[in-house]
Amino acid sequence: MNKIFLFDALREATDEEMARDESVFVVGEDVGHYGGSYKVTKDLHAKYGDIRVLDTPIAENSFMGMAIGAAMTGLRPIVEGMNMSFLLLAFNQISNNAGMLRYTSGGNFKIPLVIRGPGGVGKQLGAEHSQRLEAYFQAIPGLKIVACSTPYNAKGLLKSAIRDDNPVILFEHVLLYNLKDDVPEKEYFLPLDKAEIIRSGKDITIVTYSRMRYHVMQAVDDLLKEGYDPEVIDLISLKPIDIHSIVKSLKKTHRLLIVEECMKTGGIAAEIIAQVNDNFFDLLDSPVVRLSSQDIPTPYNGNLEKATIIQPQQIFEAVKKMLD
């Protein structure tokens, strides 16, 4: 095992796959000589050249379209969004081209494309740099979406995404890049459609993902002191949602709490609730509860920003209310 930062885990995955396969290349703003806005591509241009680590103008719609076209010809592009919020400028290419071309071509084209970069609510980055875009892309047919939360799953998910023949969006949280943890020296891959059981328990199922994993576990530490025994699931796969892992847990606990940084209206939690209510309602002993961000642009003010997203104390109180 090596203890490395999350951004280094992503860089290792990129480096290993570029060394293995000459069709893999990176494209985006400042990914080359600058090394990426969060150093995920640091020094890769020196190793692979300026064509395979390609700096682009500030033109998201253009370089996304270029990457999709490259994927159609058999290359395997990795598009880094300097901030995932900016990829809204490429929404047409992602939805109408990346998500649809394999279907509309009758299977004649594969789209082995990875779209990755920093997102989520940072620390006073302002509304336009603090977007929660999961639900925007979750509605697009033809995409796979994963959200990493540890150096271990970041590396394993990115390697799997690069080798997949479908477009994959990898959400990285801007506040997790400096998270440090053990990563195996031996090569490994993680599935793009499976959740992770972080903690087994019998009282309640808590489903979360990305940075909220750590808010949940902070709340769990306090819940354990009070005698509660929660089961915690890191969703990881946002499309498709691993509903089977959730249902397996619900068969034990019969109560479900969903904690997300996404907006409440039309968010990931809303989709999980719909699937559970439609198909597994009889497993529930009480209504599903969701804790989601406020439906507002993220404020710049630090105190207001903190009030926008769910905090550990709110999770603690919600579990107590559901179980008492």
Side-chain-side CA neighbours of residue 247 (13 Å) = 13
How does strand 230-234 pair with strand 204-208? Answer: parallel
The pair of three-digit structure tokens given for residue 278, joined into one six-digit string: 């439609």
Please report the pLDDT score of residue 192 as a whole number: 98
How does strand 76-80 pair with strand 237-239? Answer: unpaired
Together in a domain, 285 and 254: yes
Q: What is the CATH number of the domain that holds 318?
A: 3.40.50.920
The residue among 103, 107, 18 whose CA lies nearest residue 54 is 18
Together in a domain, 34 and 156: yes
The DSSP symbol for 74 reads T
Please report the pLDDT score of residue 23 as a whole number: 98
Q: What is the CATH number of the domain that holds 113?
A: 3.40.50.970
pTM equals 0.95
Tell me whether residue 141 is in a domain. Answer: yes
The pair of three-digit structure tokens given for residue 79, joined into one six-digit string: 């598009």
Tell me whether residue 221 is in a domain. Answer: yes
**Contact call for residues 86 and 60 (beta carbons, < 8 A):** yes
Type of residue numbered 82 = M
Quickly tell me which residue has 């903190």 as its tokens: 306
* 267 Rama class: left (phi>0) / alpha (psi -120 to 50) / beta: beta
Tens of pLDDT along the chain (324 residues) come to 899 999 999 999 999 999 999 999 999 999 999 999 999 999 999 999 999 999 999 999 999 999 999 999 999 999 999 999 999 999 999 999 999 999 999 999 999 999 999 999 989 999 989 989 999 999 999 999 999 999 999 999 999 999 999 999 999 999 999 999 999 999 999 999 999 999 999 999 999 999 999 999 999 999 999 999 999 999 999 999 999 999 999 999 999 999 999 999 999 999 999 999 999 999 999 999 999 999 999 999 999 999 999 999 999 999 999 999
Together in a domain, 173 and 202: no
> Which backbone phi and psi does 181 adopt, to 5 degrees?
-160, 175
Tell me whether residue 191 is in a domain. Answer: no
Tell me whether residue 25 is in a domain. Answer: yes
Quickly tell me which residue has 């253009």 as its tokens: 62
Q: Is 120 helix (H, G, I), strand (E, B) or coil?
A: coil
CA distance 14 to 12: 5
CA distance 96 to 192: 22
**Contact call for residues 242 and 195 (beta carbons, < 8 A):** yes
Please report the pLDDT score of residue 1 as a whole number: 86
Range of the domain at 228: 196-323
Active-site positions read 60, 129
Tell me whether residue 109 is in a domain. Answer: yes
Q: Is 260 helix (H, G, I), strand (E, B) or coil?
A: strand
Q: Which of 129, 151, 183 delimits the end of a domain?
A: 183
Count of domains observed in the chain = 2
Together in a domain, 40 and 148: yes
